[in-house]
Amino acid sequence: MRFLLTLLFIYFAFLIQSAITHFTPDLVLMLVVIFALYWRKSSVLILSLLAGFCLDLVNPTIFGFNLIICLAAGFSINSLQEYIYHGGRYLVVFLGLVLIVKYLLALILFKASPPFVEFVLSSLITLILVVPFNLLIQSLLPSQWKPA
């Protein structure tokens, strides 16, 4: 039941993210990073596949890019699950690194990047929202969290 609720969180975040036009926070990638710290590898794989597929449906010209980014972010952060303490400061650092890698790869591979001001503002909004979203998810799904 908790896993289905997690899938619904990702889907609703996708709907909200696709409805915002300017300075869009990357809510779906943020949830993938949050859930990657707490779920098993198989669950994170399914969550990342759903998240990347939903994001790729919005922009079919670079189909597969968001899928690869979500899978790589989810798997790499999930691999660090046993070595770190589950706190908000790690979420901010990991999400910041994932956002930088995502935009750099988009710039290098596709020569497609949002304007610098839009990239900075949307990334800052995403980094500011990660800790409150983490606290909200911890309060809604308390039994799944475990100490490092």
Instruction: List the domains of the chain with CATH numbers.
Output: 2-142 (1.10.1760)
Q: Which of 105, 88, 82, 114 is nearest to 33 (CA)?
A: 88
- Token duo for residue 91: 């979420």
Q: What is the pLDDT of residues 8-63, one digit of tens each?
A: 999 999 999 999 888 889 999 999 999 888 888 899 999 999 999 999 988 877 88
The confidence score (pLDDT) of residue 125 equals 93
Give dist(CA 114, CA 130) in Å, integer.
21
Say whether pLDDT at 99 is over 80: yes
- The average pLDDT across 118-130 equals 91
Query: pTM, whole model, 2 decimals?
Result: 0.88
- 125, with CB counted inside 10 A (0-12, 13-18, 19+), is middle
The confidence score (pLDDT) of residue 143 equals 53
